[in-house]
């Protein structure tokens, strides 16, 4: 067993804001931790806490918008989201599914609550991450990975106390389905009440756990509850997790990208000049076409 990776802080949800008319999100980072690089290679975490929508005929979501220099990863916990982009990709995710879009050099996309969900109504809960691309891959070709729950790597804990769904990276030699540009672990973890286990991560990786549902105790002394984020120090390797009730948690951990960063709007580049070029390319129609 290695040394304990200490908890730096337990964060409550920052004030919410709306993204389009369909995503009521708490921005844990960069806004919540006041840093563009503290969770590198993860740049942004928008969390739509569980809420209920009544049946409707209204179109809900975010219309066509551009990206460059990053990847967007959307994880569904309740509800259904449809995605379309200018590279010809599209898909629908529902509970337990993930869509992983590499914007690369240029993409337009849109995200909406799927019509079947809108008409029926129900609970809605989602996470979206932005993952930075290193400079060498900023201008890579766009890519789309649809990762249904059934295709994830799965590690069943002892005595069926829970399961680690490996979206990206690896857990105890179980590999995730996502192809990544940097060393990233992304785990959807489902725990029964009373389960206790330890996971080992690299010491220098930036690491956090979002409690999507339930309550957990970390390293035998730090409690984190529904909608809270636990941020870890970059020391030690091991995290001990005890589920105080039936819980769902999202663990994200990754190797920092040690490069300058210049974020602006929907673009994530290394310099101001690259941002200006992105806007020029977008305004000149070089991001393709996508009907709203």
* Mean local confidence (pLDDT), 232-251: 97
Confidence of residue 2 (pLDDT cuts 50, 70, 90): confident
Residue 186's nearest CA partner among 54, 45, 91 is 45
DSSP the chain: ---B--EEEEEPPPPEEEETTTEEEEEEETTTTT-SSTTTTEEEEEEEEEEEE-------EEEEEEEBSEEEEEEEEES-EEEEETTS-EEEE-TT-EEEEE-TT-EEEEEEE-HHHHHH-EEEEEEEEEEEPPGGGTTPPPEEEEE-GGGSEEEEPGGG-EEEEEEESEETTEEPS---SS-EEEEEEEE-TT-EEEEE--TTSEEEEEEEESEEEETTTEEEETT-EEEE-SS-SEEEEEESSSEEEEEEEE----S--EEETTEEESSHHHHHHHHHHHHTTTT-----
Reading the block at residue 279, the tokens are: 């806007």
Tell me the C-alpha to C-alpha distance, in Å, between residue 231 and each of 98, 152, 208, 218, 249: 23, 25, 5, 11, 13
* Mean local confidence (pLDDT), 113-128: 97
Instruction: Quote the pLDDT of residue 288.
Output: 95
* Mean local confidence (pLDDT), 84-113: 97
Count how many Cα atoms sit within 13 Å of the Cα of residue 131 in the half-sphere of its side chain. Answer: 27
On the question of pLDDT at 36 being above 80, the answer is yes
Domains of the chain: 7-254 (2.60.120.10)
Confidence of residue 1 (pLDDT cuts 50, 70, 90): low
Residue 253 · residue 42 · CB < 8 Å: no
C-alpha torsion angle, residues 138, 144, 148, 152 (rounded to 10): -40
| Cα 209 from Cα 94, distance rounded (Å) | 22
Q: How many CB atoms lie within 10 A of CB 134?
A: 15
Instruction: Quote the pLDDT of residue 120.
Output: 96
* Mean local confidence (pLDDT), 89-110: 97
The residues pairing with 136 across neighbouring beta strands, listed in sequence order, are none
Residue 176's nearest CA partner among 152, 156, 150 is 152
Instruction: Quote the pLDDT of residue 292.
Output: 87
* Mean local confidence (pLDDT), 264-287: 98
pLDDT in tens, 243-257: 999 999 999 999 999
Reading the block at residue 79, the tokens are: 């509800």
* Mean local confidence (pLDDT), 32-39: 96
* Mean local confidence (pLDDT), 257-264: 98
pLDDT in tens, 177-194: 999 999 999 999 999 999
* Mean local confidence (pLDDT), 149-166: 96
On the question of pLDDT at 268 being above 70, the answer is yes
Mean residue pLDDT across the chain: 97
């Amino acid at each position: 067993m290695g040394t304990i990776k200490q908890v730096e802080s337990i964060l409550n949800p920052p004030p919410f804001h709306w993204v389009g008319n369909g995503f009521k999100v708490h921005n844990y980072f960069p806004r919540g931790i006041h840093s563009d690089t503290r969770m590198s290679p993860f740049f942004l975490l928008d969390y739509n806490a569980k809420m209920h929508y009544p049946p409707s005929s209204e179109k809900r979501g975010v219309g066509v918008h551009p990206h460059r220099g990053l990847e967007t990863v959307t994880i569904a916990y309740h509800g259904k989201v449809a995605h379309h982009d200018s590279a010809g990709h599209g898909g629908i995710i529902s509970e337990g599914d993930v869509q992983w879009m590499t914007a690369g050099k240029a993409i337009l996309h849109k995200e909406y609550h799927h019509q079947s969900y809108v008409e029926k109504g129900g609970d809605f809960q989602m996470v979206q991450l932005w993952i930075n691309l290193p400079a060498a891959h900023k201008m890579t070709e766009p890519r789309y990975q649809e990762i249904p729950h059934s295709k994830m790597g799965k590690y069943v804990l002892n005595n069926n106390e829970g399961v680690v769904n490996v979206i990206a990276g690896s857990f105890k030699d179980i590999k995730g389905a996502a192809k990544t540009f940097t060393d990233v672990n992304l785990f959807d973890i489902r725990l029964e009440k009373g389960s206790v286990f330890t996971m080992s991560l690299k010491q220098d990786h930036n690491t956090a756990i979002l409690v999507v549902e339930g309550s957990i105790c970390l390293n035998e002394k730090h409690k984190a509850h529904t909608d809270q984020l636990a941020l870890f120090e970059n020391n030690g390797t091991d995290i001990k997790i005890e589920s105080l009730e039936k819980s769902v948690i999202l663990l994200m951990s990754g190797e920092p990208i040690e490069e300058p960063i210049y974020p602006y709007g929907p673009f994530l580049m290394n310099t101001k000049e690259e941002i200006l070029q992105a806007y020029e390319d977008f305004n000149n129609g070089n991001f393709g076409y996508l009907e709203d």
